[in-house]
Amino acid sequence: MDGATEPIDRSANTDMNATQGAPCPWHAADRLCIMWRVLDSLKAPNEELVMASLTLFDKIWESHIVRVEPDGTTLLYIDRQLVHEVTSPQAFEGLKLAGRRARRAAATLAVPDHNVPTTDRKLAIADPISAKQIQTLEDNCRDFGITLYGMNDIRQGIVHVIGPEQGFTLPGTTIVCGDSHTSTHGAFGALAFGIGTSEVEHVLATQCLIQKRPKTMEIRVDGTLSDRCSAKDIVLAIIGKIGTAGGTGYVIEYTGSAIRALSMEGRMTLCNMSIEGGARAGMVAPDEKTIAYIKGRPLAPKGDLFEQAVKAWHELKTDPQARHDVTVTLRAEDIAPQVSWGTNPGMVLGVDQNVPDPRTISDENTKHATERALEYMGLIPNMPITDIRIDKVFIGSCTNSRIEDLRLAASLAKGKKVSKAVHAMVVPGSGLIKQQAEAEGLDRVFLDAGFEWREAGCSMCLAMNADVLQPGERCASTSNRNFEGRQGAGGRTHLVSPAMAVAAAIEGHFVDIRTWT
Amino acid sequence: MQAFTQLTGLVAPLDRVNVDTDQIIPKQFLKTIKRTGLREGLFFDWRKNKDGSPDPDFFLNQARYQGATILLTRDNFGSGSSREHAPWALLDQGFRCVIAPSFADIFYNNCFQNGILPVVLKADEVLSLMKDVIGTEGYRLTVDLGDQRVTTPDGTTYRFDVDPFRKDCLYRGLDSIGLTLQHEAAITAYERRRKQDAPWLFTDIR
């Protein structure tokens, strides 16, 4: 049965959300879907015929529809899948048990990252269970013909760093990975989202996923950021505003002059943390920066194919008349350097503020959650954020471990010394970033200032390897989650930007990076 | 996948909001290459006191909740990581149904892949149930996927929504990969069209 011609239950489909862009009942190529939009708008009473107006999300979604069930459930084509060692073994096992192959091994890229040591790679992995998981990934990639950047490959790194770095991540594509921070790739104008292991298996076997169409949320940030404030501060401020479930059921499109002004690295930081606001995906429409970043990368299209692709990528933007389901706005000028004080990323404040006081909170749920978070974090109500002293600093993770992050961190660390009370480490996002940083002498700057300089991996973002906080230890971290125990049982995490992390490492407590010298 | 039609079972209360998947199962249990045996990792850090002894106040350590098959909890359950180890651990402990006012998207989806029914009830309904569960030893609920109803011991019923497609798959315990593979021709046709429109996506990355 061909999805383009197969009859489906029109009665169930034609009434559904008629003016909100119901999926095309022919679930065929883009052209037909746009026609469906026009026909749909004709049906709505008192509405003039206007050209179909689509959001960036609509354009990507509709160009990936394989078929639609009567209730709107969609079989969505997946262009690319990234695979890592932690969420894939059971998926490969499932394929083997069912005697299934990988439908498009050539559209799949694998790398170990979560569980790899960031110390000398020539030594065997001390933890035999970690070693077995990494070996299992190698075995599976060999058996299914999937490209793997192994632990000693210079291209190895965090899965969400190497996808863009290699030119695997491209605008207009659907990208999935068994990791919630897959939202990172949305920085390129891709629809990228995290999935569970069963869905990893589903995509390996079919190159498709069964999905419900999400709603869209526009988050518009206009204006100019304060000196030394960054994408990390924007996204933490957004999560502080919408909450950790504010984006549930939505795909976010980030717009506005402050977003346009961000580098590709900044946009990746921003989209990376969409999931911390509950949204599975976040995206930024591609522009010349996007195209310049991609050009010449090893897996990016070349020559005529590249020119053809660029032409298509220029169409990837939300049409002027298109409407999102919700719009949230922020002013960049209002965003102070952010520091999380609690046990989820929504518990965040500007560095110039005080830790909340549960006694002043009327909502019972928020009050209890605040009390519990303060107790876990060992903080006193009303204390200034700048009085919080720290034990560790972690600069790294899929949020903030790219070359731009390291350059900025090194520029602030240059000629300074890490506080005697602090243990600080820098973990580059990939082997190639490490190499680049070393070529620029950034490693010397960090080492001279008293930071450790490590091999690439997820490291202390989730502490699956040996990089772990001890109970009660307090860390200024450029990562993305401050959940209880995230960086080690009993560990206390404060999420900050790389600039804020460096200043905290040197002073031993948080400082306002805008005025710090 | 095990089908879910109707379940009558003991209810265990987890009266907390924003329970993230790092709490449901911490990272040290993600090194496994199997789906089973994850029970010991379920709420690992919350089950213990600081000295490592079991916390008698935590519901999983209480005799009255042993054998529970329904977990009643609060808003935004399952936020954070995509780890499917979270539903695997719940299943290994014996939970087949989680009731909450809201769920994080990826966790919600992962439940359906593993024969667990996530039920969304209104916040006030969950609060009322929470009170009854904590106040009544041996409190049981009946969850009927066919009727989309939760029924209390006194006969009160609460209706819940579920997408028809997901409902059908769970009700019949269907293998979703098998379902998709039935549309092999449509997938191939899509790929043919897509290759014409966007040939740069079909270069071999190997």
Query: Does residue A30 or residue A74 have the better pLDDT?
Result: A74
CA dist A89 → A1, A86, A111, A138, A481 (Å): 33, 7, 13, 10, 24
Q: Does A63 touch chain B (CB under 8 A)?
A: yes
User: Residue A75 and residue B200: Cβ atoms within 8 Å?
Assistant: no
The answer as to whether B187 is a domain residue is no
Residue ranges of chain B whose pLDDT lies below 70: none
pLDDT for residue B52: 87
A chain contacts of residue B73, beta-carbon cutoff 8 Å: none
Q: Does any domain span residue B78?
A: yes
What pLDDT was estimated at residue A11?
32
Q: Which residue in chain A has the smallest CA separation from B191?
A: A77
A485, B104: Cβ pair inside 8 Å?
no
Contact B113, A195 (CB under 8 A): no
Report the chain B residue with the minimal C-alpha distance to residue A372.
B16
Nearest to A79 among B81, B82, B201 (CB): B201
Is the pLDDT score of A7 beyond 60? no
Position B191 in a domain: no
Instruction: Please give, rounded to a whole number of angstroms, the shortest distance from the CA of A459 to a CA of chain B.
Output: 12
CA dist B184 and B195 (Å) reads 16
Confidence of residue A61 (pLDDT cuts 50, 70, 90): very high
Q: Are A127 and B24 within 8 A, CB to CB?
A: no
State whether the Cα torsion A68-B78-B64-B133 is positive or negative. Answer: negative
Contact A180 B204 (CB under 8 A): no
Nearest CA in chain B to A4: B186
Checking if the pLDDT of A116 tops 50, the result is yes
Q: How far is CA B19 from the centre of its chain?
A: 12
Range of the domain at B102: 6-173
B-contacting residues in A 129-148 (Cβ below 8 Å): 129-130, 132-133, 136, 145, 147
For residue B204, give the nearest of A4, A106, A483 by CB distance.
Answer: A106
Instruction: Provide the pLDDT for residue A28.
Output: 40
pLDDT in the model for residue A37: 52
- A188-207 residues touching B, CB cutoff 8 A: 194-199, 201-202, 205-207
Cα torsion B32, B35, B37, B38 to 10°: value is 80
Give the pLDDT confidence of A231-247 residue by residue, as tens digits. Answer: 999 999 999 999 999 99
B164 to A481: CB separation less than 8 angstroms, yes or no? no
For residue B197, being part of any structural domain is answered with no
A268 HSE (CA, 13 A, CB side): 28
The 10s digit of each residue's pLDDT in A146-186 is: 999 999 999 999 999 999 999 999 999 999 999 999 999 99
User: What is the rounded CA–CA span in Å between residue B105 and residue B80?
Assistant: 10
The enclosing H or E element of A216 equals strand A215-222
Say whether pTM exceeds 0.95: no
Nearest chain A residue (CA) to B162 = A71
The tens digit of pLDDT for each residue in A477-495 reads 999 999 999 999 999 999 9
Contact (CB<8Å) A369/B17 = yes
Domain count, chain B: 1
Instruction: Choose, out of B19, B45, B180, B193, the residue to mutate when testing the contact with A (most A CBs < 10 Å).
Output: B180
Contact A416, A410 (CB under 8 A): no
Q: What is the pLDDT of residue A21?
A: 42
Which residue in B22, B74, B177 is closest to A202 by CB distance? B177
pLDDT at A408: 97
Helix (H) or strand (E) holding B100: strand B97-100
Which tens digit of pLDDT belongs to each residue from A368-408? 999 999 999 999 999 999 999 999 999 999 999 999 999 99
With an 8 Å Cβ cutoff, are A87 and B82 in contact?
Answer: yes
Give Cβ neighbours of residue A328 (< 8 Å, ≥ 6 apart): A217, A218, A219, A220, A238, A241, A242
Q: Does B166 reside within a domain?
A: yes
Q: Is residue B25 part of a domain?
A: yes
Whether A377 and A349 have beta carbons less than 8 Å apart is answered as: no
Is residue B193 included in any domain, yes or no?
Answer: no
Instruction: Please tell me the predicted confidence (pLDDT) of residue A125.
Output: 87
Cα of B102 to nearest chain A Cα, Å: 9
- CATH assignment at residue B32: 3.20.19.10
Number of CB pairs < 8 Å for A and B?
214
In chain A, residues with a C-beta closer than 8 Å to the C-beta of B187 are 3, 66, 75, 77, 206-208
| Spatial CA neighbour of A385 closest among A496, A291, A276, A479 | A496
From residue A244, how far is each of A239, A272, A374, A395 by CA, in Å? 6, 14, 18, 23
CB contact under 8 A, A463 and B27: yes
Looking at CA atoms only, how far is residue A198 from chain B in angstroms? 7
pLDDT tens for residues A329-357?
999 999 999 999 999 999 999 999 999 99
For residue A39, pLDDT beyond 80: no
pLDDT exceeds 70 at position A5? no
Taking the CA of residue A144 and the nearest CA in chain B, the distance in Å comes to: 12
**How far A507 CA sits from the closest chain B CA (Å)?**
31
Backbone angles phi, psi at B52, to 5 degrees: 95, -10
For residue A170, the chain B residues in CB contact (below 8 A) are 200-201
Whether residue A474 has pLDDT greater than 80? yes
pLDDT band (50, 70, 90) for residue A52: confident
pLDDT at A18 over 90: no
pLDDT given at position A51: 58
Inter-helix orientation angle A442-449/A403-413, to 10°:
40
At residue A12, the pLDDT reads 33
Residue B55 lies in a domain: yes
In chain B, residues with a C-beta closer than 8 Å to the C-beta of A347 are: none
With residue A493 as reference, give the H or E element that holds it: strand A492-495
Q: Which residues of B touch A305 (CB under 8 A)?
A: 199-200, 203
At A255-303, the pLDDT tens digits run 999 999 999 999 999 999 999 999 999 999 999 999 999 999 999 999 9
The reply to whether residue A105 touches residue B206, judged by beta carbons under 8 angstroms, is: yes
CB–CB of A464 and B27 under 8 A?
yes
**Looking at the predicted structure, is the pLDDT value of residue A43 above 60?**
no
